[in-house]
């Protein structure tokens, strides 16, 4: 009887401290629990874009590190993971598996639109690849292995409806508006499944995504 009562109390306590959301304060990552308490998770002072990974009790985030390189200082980025319980941090990835054509470096200079995959096993983001453009990549959260997808300047992972699991992307190309950013829906191989011929059709599609 005492053991059963203890078990019930323990479960109730665990549920009351379930992570509700993550946020950034003073460039560090925090978690807010369902009972109203908050907990600081990182202390480096250069972290951003946290994503709660409930399945592993972890938070994925970006850490920027300033590099003083003569007259050309820059910031290199890492995708990091921190455990909510024990605050153990680990690096998911801190270098590209290729030398980009923009700055000739393996450092990750841009991480744009960090997004968790629907299966919670990967992250997507845009980073530098070409001298005149960027690309979407997919990185495994366990192994850190990269998969290069296709060129894009913007993207959103579609999470509902008939296009669930696909991407709404913006690509720089020559079209009916001349050289501009054109929007389309495509899969991980870059195959176009839907084009938008006007701003109105794009806005309508965006409203249906929500």
Helices marked H in the chain: 2-16, 199-209
Going by pLDDT thresholds of 50, 70 and 90, the confidence category of residue 132 is confident
Mention the CATH class of domain 2-151.
mainly beta
Give the list of residues 6+ apart from residue 199 with CB closer than 8 angstroms, or none. Answer: none
Mean pLDDT (the chain) is: 89
pTM: 0.87
Going by pLDDT thresholds of 50, 70 and 90, the confidence category of residue 10 is very low
* First-to-final CA distance of the chain: 48
| N residues, the chain | 210
| CA Rg value for the chain | 20
Domain boundaries defined on the chain: 2-151
How far apart (Å, rounded) are the C-alpha atoms in residues 177 and 38? 49
- Tokens (6 digits) for 149: 């997808």
How far apart (Å, rounded) are the C-alpha atoms in residues 210 and 158? 9
What is the side-by-side strand order in the sheet with 38-40? 19-25, 28-33, 38-40
* Cβ contact 41:84 at 8 Å: yes
How far apart (Å, rounded) are the C-alpha atoms in residues 158 and 155? 9
Stronger pLDDT, 4 or 194, i.e. the higher one? 194
In degrees and rounded to multiples of 5, residue 164 shows phi and psi of: -55, 135
What is residue 151's predicted lDDT score, i.e. its pLDDT?
A: 93
Give the list of residues 6+ apart from residue 103 with CB closer than 8 angstroms, or none. Answer: 109, 128
User: pLDDT digits over 74-130, tens only?
Assistant: 899 999 999 999 999 999 999 999 999 888 899 999 999 999 999 999 999 999 998
What is the side-by-side strand order in the sheet with 133-140? 112-116, 122-130, 133-140, 146-151
How far apart (Å, rounded) are the C-alpha atoms in residues 40 and 193? 43
């Amino acid at each position: 009887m005492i053991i059963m009562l203890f078990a019930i109390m323990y479960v109730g306590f665990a549920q009351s401290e379930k992570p509700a959301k993550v946020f950034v304060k003073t460039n560090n990552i925090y978690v807010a629990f369902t009972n109203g308490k908050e907990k600081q998770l990182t202390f480096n002072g250069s972290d951003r874009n946290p994503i709660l990974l409930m399945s592993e009790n972890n938070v994925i985030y970006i850490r920027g590190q300033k590099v003083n390189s003569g007259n050309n200082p820059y910031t290199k980025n890492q995708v990091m993971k921190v455990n909510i319980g024990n605050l153990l941090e680990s690096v998911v990835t801190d270098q590209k598996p290729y030398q980009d054509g923009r700055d000739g470096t393996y450092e990750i200079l841009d991480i744009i639109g960090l997004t968790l995959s629907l299966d919670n096993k990967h992250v997507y983001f845009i980073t530098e690849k070409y001298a005149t453009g960027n690309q979407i990549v997919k990185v495994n959260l366990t192994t850190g292995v990269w998969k290069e997808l296709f060129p894009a300047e913007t993207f959103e992972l579609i999470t509902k409806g008939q296009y669930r699991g696909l991407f709404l992307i913006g690509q720089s190309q020559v079209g009916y508006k001349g050289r501009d950013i054109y929007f389309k829906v495509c899969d991980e191989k870059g195959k176009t499944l839907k084009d938008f011929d006007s701003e109105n059709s794009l806005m309508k599609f965006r409203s249906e995504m929500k």
